[in-house]
């Protein structure tokens, strides 16, 4: 591990010299690539240098221990040594984390899909609350939201909504949200006061760029039709809604929120590319999933991941057995505690797998 760290530090210094070269600065594309690589190594080099400094301090303290007879000074040195060794252990663990291969999709924007499941209108209303929850979380992060396609009920529930969240590291934070979300509460439409259980399904897909997914136009069937609203009534006087079918996979995407046929087509293609990239990613991960069942789950849409219990005011994430009693704040977009716990669990699993 330390040989690898020495090479990383050496590369970091080499890059620092290169990006300071005035001639290279004039070649902007090449310069930007090197600047990006230099920035990506900064955190691990900083930690490694801190680790080496602590190691030197430990060696100096051990040398003093051998040379002193002063009892009071000895006690002070032993205490300092214990603290330094603890710090060294923590830094070593942090460095191991930083050396783990990064998910190349982590920095991408995401396409999120929410669909109502079991529970009729109550499931659709819960779907709308989940959409608001993710919208509020995106606002807290300074991210931008764009609705790609939506299908609301007359009471404001969500049968299906597809939206994009644009922001640095959006996928790294939201990728844990894929799966079945379950709500337990007394519906507003229930006169008897009985608690009902309803579900909504969330899918989180990394946005696909042209370099990630190439689509052959001959593989697409594109149908144009008139947009419709609640109950099937027309909401537009022109044929602007677009349905794209990817013939090799059978994936169908429909977009009708925009009045422009061209904009609907652009949005539908974005969603299609995201689904195809997600399909390719899942196929690649299947072998790993068979060999080692991840505690945080595979992101499968059929997996029940979380329960929102209104009578008890709690949220329980079943993958890691975490329960928090802050339901209102959670639904208002305060998701960080759960997301960070899931991220730490995944990192610990990766460390264990690397060790094995």
Q: Where are the alpha helices (DSSP H) in 142-165?
A: none
- pLDDT of 210 reads 65
Question: Domains of the chain: which residue ranges?
Answer: 2-99, 110-352
Closest among 172, 77, 181, 44 to 125, alpha carbons compared:
181
Paired sense of beta strands 251-255 and 144-152, if any:
unpaired
pLDDT of residue 246: 92
Residues 176, 343 contacting (CB under 8 angstroms): yes
* CATH code assigned to 110-352: 3.30.70.1660
The confidence score (pLDDT) of residue 40 equals 83
CA 100 to chain centre: 17
Residues of the chain with pLDDT under 70: 189-192, 210-212, 227-238, 284-302, 353-356
pLDDT of res. 354? 63
Strand pairing category for 110-116 and 158-166: antiparallel
CA dihedral 267, 225, 222, 164 (to 10 degrees): 10
Residues with Cβ within 8 Å of residue 124, at least 6 apart in sequence? 116, 153, 155, 157, 158, 159
Q: What is the per-residue pLDDT for 286?
A: 66
pTM of the shown model: 0.68
pLDDT at residue number 309: 95
Pick from 177, 154, 211: which is nearest to 330 by CA? 177
Determine the CATH number of domain 2-99.
1.20.58
């Amino acid at each position: 591990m330390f040989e690898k760290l020495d090479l990383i530090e050496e590369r970091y210094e080499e890059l620092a010299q290169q990006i300071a070269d005035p001639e290279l600065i004039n070649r902007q594309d090449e310069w930007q690539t090197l600047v990006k690589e230099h920035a990506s190594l900064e955190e691990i080099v900083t930690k490694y240098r801190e680790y080496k400094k602590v190691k030197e301090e430990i060696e100096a303290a051990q040398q003093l221990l051998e040379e002193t007879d002063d009892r009071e000074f000895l006690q002070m040195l032993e205490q300092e040594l214990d603290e330094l060794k603890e710090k060294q252990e923590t830094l070593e663990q942090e460095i191991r984390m930083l050396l783990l291969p990064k998910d190349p999709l982590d920095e991408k924007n995401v396409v999120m899909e929410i669909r109502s499941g079991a529970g009729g209108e109550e499931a659709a209303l819960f779907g709308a609350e989940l959409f608001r929850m993710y919208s509020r979380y995106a606002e807290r992060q300074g991210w931008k939201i764009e609705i790609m396609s939506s299908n609301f009920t007359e009471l404001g529930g969500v049968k299906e909504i597809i939206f994009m969240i644009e922001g640095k590291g959006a996928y790294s934070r939201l990728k844990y949200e894929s799966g079945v979300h379950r709500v337990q509460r007394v519906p507003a439409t229930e006169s008897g006061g009985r608690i009902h259980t309803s579900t909504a399904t969330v899918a989180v897909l990394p946005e696909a760029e042209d370099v990630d997914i190439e689509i052959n136009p001959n593989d697409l069937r594109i149908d144009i039709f008139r947009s419709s609203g609640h109950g099937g009534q027309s909401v537009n006087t022109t044929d602007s809604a677009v349905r794209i079918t990817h013939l090799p996979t059978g994936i169908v995407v429909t977009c009708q929120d925009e009045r422009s046929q061209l904009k609907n087509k652009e949005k539908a293609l974005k969603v299609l590319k995201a689904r195809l990239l997600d399909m390719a990613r899942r196929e690649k991960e299947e072998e790993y999933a068979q060999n080692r069942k991840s505690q945080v789950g595979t992101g499968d849409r059929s997996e029940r991941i979380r329960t929102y219990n209104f009578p008890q005011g709690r949220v329980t994430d079943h993958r890691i057995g975490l329960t928090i009693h802050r339901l209102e704040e959670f639904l208002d977009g305060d998701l960080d505690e759960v997301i960070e716990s899931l991220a730490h669990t995944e990192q610990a699993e990766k460390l264990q797998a690397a060790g094995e």
